[in-house]
Amino acid sequence: MFIVNVEGAIFRKDKWLIIERSKKEEHAGGLLSLVGGKVDQEGNSSDILERTVKREIYEEVDVMVKDQLTYVHSTSFVADSGENVIDIVFLCEYESGNAMPKSPDEVEAVSWMTARQVYEHPNAPDYLKESIKRAENMKGTNISL
């Protein structure tokens, strides 16, 4: 069985909303990341991935994103805890809110960064760079600015 995790590549103009994960986090503590979290079991449910990513973004950084979400890519990995995880990234356009660490046990800091700043940051893991690269390539074609 897998844990299903969703993340939002949230953009506003030419910047991406990037968090520094809390050092208390079991997986990837202290590293830069997109905003996201685990999908809860809901039984029979519609749009569970989309609703989860929107909820996690609001709960963690107090931001609302526009309704249209675009699938970017998916990966699988083994978490530091040994659990198998499927991770799905969605391209999200910022709508409102003042981005801040609303959940300090999960989010240490919040920044709006250009793709280049993410690529050059020493605490940006390769999988984050890949997600930003893919989202950056899709941004102009799938969502009106």
Q: How do the domains of the chain map onto residue ranges? A: 3-142
Residue 114 CA to residue 31 CA, distance in Å, equals 17
Distance, C-alpha 96 to centroid of its chain: 16
Residue 22 CB neighbour total at 10 angstroms: 16
The CATH class given to the 3-142 domain equals: alpha beta
- For residue range 57-90, list pLDDT tens digits in order: 999 999 999 999 999 999 999 987 889 999 999 9
In contact, 113 and 71? CB cutoff 8 Å: no
Q: Is the pLDDT of residue 141 over 80?
A: no
Give pTM, 2 decimals: 0.90
